[in-house]
């Protein structure tokens, strides 16, 4: 199994180009199921999660052609409404095929994501919304079975602003008869990107990016050419790394408007930040200042940046409180950062971080995607060698992260066992 090895203490300098956003690419690629023509998608990142969704779409009958960062999908041959456990278990975002299959084939049989029952990170809001649109829903033997002779527009209220739930319902409602309003919808940039892509395919979606989305159903949709937006979490990760190492880094091919909360907190931590139209220049401070954060739904501070920012606070002057309000069990990385000398105490859904003068290299184990990135950041700032093990999570969401850090001067390499 591969691992990432770093030698810390080097100031990162140079320019890093941000890849397309995984969390935008996944639903946009899935939206190809809504049309029977050949759509073209550019700026698609080369990630394990992208490979997984392409395999799933292919299993459903879509023809897929990939070259570089371009993916072409022709769903004209869509003929399978079953998304099997062996594919869906690899990635929770696979549940996104539920809405399009129901809209296009009038039925869907999709494994519960990860093989789990509805509970943590539930899909009950997806199912309630689809039932509001007129679908009959049953849970049998670990699968969601949904049917609808005709989906009809409805008023849907989401108890929580779920991102994948909003996306699933947008895609289902696009081909429904009549008008659908999704209230308390998620507002993330990835939602807006999906709506833009679908409108280019002939959908009629208004208000995406706000808490109330209006979808006027259409009878059919057409193929389109879509460019995937930049990955705001990847951009935030490199910005935090620049601040952490006292570096001087230009983060290019990004969307600064999507990073307001991260920019604000990094400035409060002492980093100097200059914003251009499609790039952000970050200069790390001589002394990092402690800053409190609380994760929120967009436009609040993203939960996907919590672990990386915690590493920054681990070497800041003073004490900070980091509160996680989105996901439970998102503090698993703390035990590994503490192995490197961090002083962190957990109380409920908050972590009290007392800054230390320095972290020290150590062998550590990654538990999830963002924890993997945070441990690499810790290794870049630590004294000595750090080995980050079980990094297969990284390849799900970061495209060639070690190569990008190496271009910034980091002493980092991937080692295959």
Active site residues: 116
- In this structure, what is the dihedral angle of CA atoms 38, 40, 41, 47, given to the nearest 10 degrees? 60
Question: Are the CB atoms for 373 and 308 separated by under 8 Å?
Answer: yes
Which residues are 412's β-sheet partners? 6
**Pairing, β 82-83 against β 204-206:** unpaired
Question: Are the CB atoms for 162 and 298 separated by under 8 Å?
Answer: no
Residue 299 preceded by cis peptide, ω within 30: yes
**Pairing, β 107-111 against β 204-206:** unpaired
Which residue, 8, 65, 62, is CA-closest to 409? 8
CA dist 316 and 270 (Å) reads 10
DSSP assignment letter at 83: E
Contacts (Cβ under 8 Å, ≥6 apart) of 86: none
* Token code pair at residue 293: 């954060």
Which residue, 318, 302, 380, 326, is CA-closest to 353? 318
Task: Say how many C-beta atoms besides its own lie within 10 A of residue 23's C-beta.
Answer: 24
Q: Read off φ and ψ for residue 273, nearest 5 degrees.
A: -130, 125
């Amino acid at each position: 199994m591969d691992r990432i090895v770093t030698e810390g203490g080097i100031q990162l300098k140079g320019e890093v180009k941000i890849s397309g956003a995984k969390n935008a690419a996944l639903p946009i690629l899935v939206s190809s199921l809504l049309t029977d023509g050949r759509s073209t998608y550019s700026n698609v990142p080369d990630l394990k999660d992208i490979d997984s969704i392409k395999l799933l779409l292919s299993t459903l009958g879509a023809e897929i052609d990939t070259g570089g960062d371009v993916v072409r999908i022709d769903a004209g041959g869509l003929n399978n409404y079953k998304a099997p456990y062996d594919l869906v278990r690899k990635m929770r975002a696979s549940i996104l095929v539920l809405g399009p299959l129901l809209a296009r084939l009038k039925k869907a049989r999709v494994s519960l994501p990860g093989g789990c029952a509805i509970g943590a990170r539930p899909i009950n809001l997806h199912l309630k919304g689809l039932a509001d649109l007129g679908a009959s829903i049953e849970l049998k033997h670990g699968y969601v079975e949904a049917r609808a002779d005709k989906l009809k527009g409805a008023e849907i209220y989401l108890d929580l602003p779920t991102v994948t739930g909003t996306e699933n319902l947008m895609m289902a409602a696009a081909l429904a008869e009549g008008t659908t309003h999704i209230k308390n919808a998620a507002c993330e940039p990835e939602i807006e990107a999906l709506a833009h892509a679908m409108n280019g395919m002939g959908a009629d979606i208004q208000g995406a990016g706000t808490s109330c989305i209006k979808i006027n159903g259409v009878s059919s949709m057409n193929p389109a050419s879509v460019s995937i937006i930049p990955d705001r979490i990847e951009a935030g990760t490199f910005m935090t790394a620049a601040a952490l190492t006292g570096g001087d880094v230009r983060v290019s091919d990004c969307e600064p408007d999507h990073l307001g909360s991260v920019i604000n907190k990094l400035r409060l931590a002492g980093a100097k930040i200059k914003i251009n139209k499609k790039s952000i220049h970050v200069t790390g401070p001589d002394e990092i200042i402690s800053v409190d954060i609380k994760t929120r739904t967009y436009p609040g501070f993203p939960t996907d940046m919590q672990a990386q920012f915690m590493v920054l606070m681990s070497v800041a002057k003073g004490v900070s409180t980091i509160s996680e309000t989105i996901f439970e069990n998102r503090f698993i990385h703390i035990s590994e950062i503490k192995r490197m000398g961090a002083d962190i105490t957990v109380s409920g859904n908050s972590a009290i971080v007392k800054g230390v003068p320095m972290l020290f290299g150590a062998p550590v184990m990654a538990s999830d995607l963002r924890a993997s990135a945070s441990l690499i950041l810790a290794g870049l700032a630590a004294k000595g060698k750090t080995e980050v093990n079980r990094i297969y999570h990284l390849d799900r969401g970061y495209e060639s992260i070690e190569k990008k850090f190496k271009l910034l001067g980091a002493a980092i390499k991937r080692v295959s066992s």
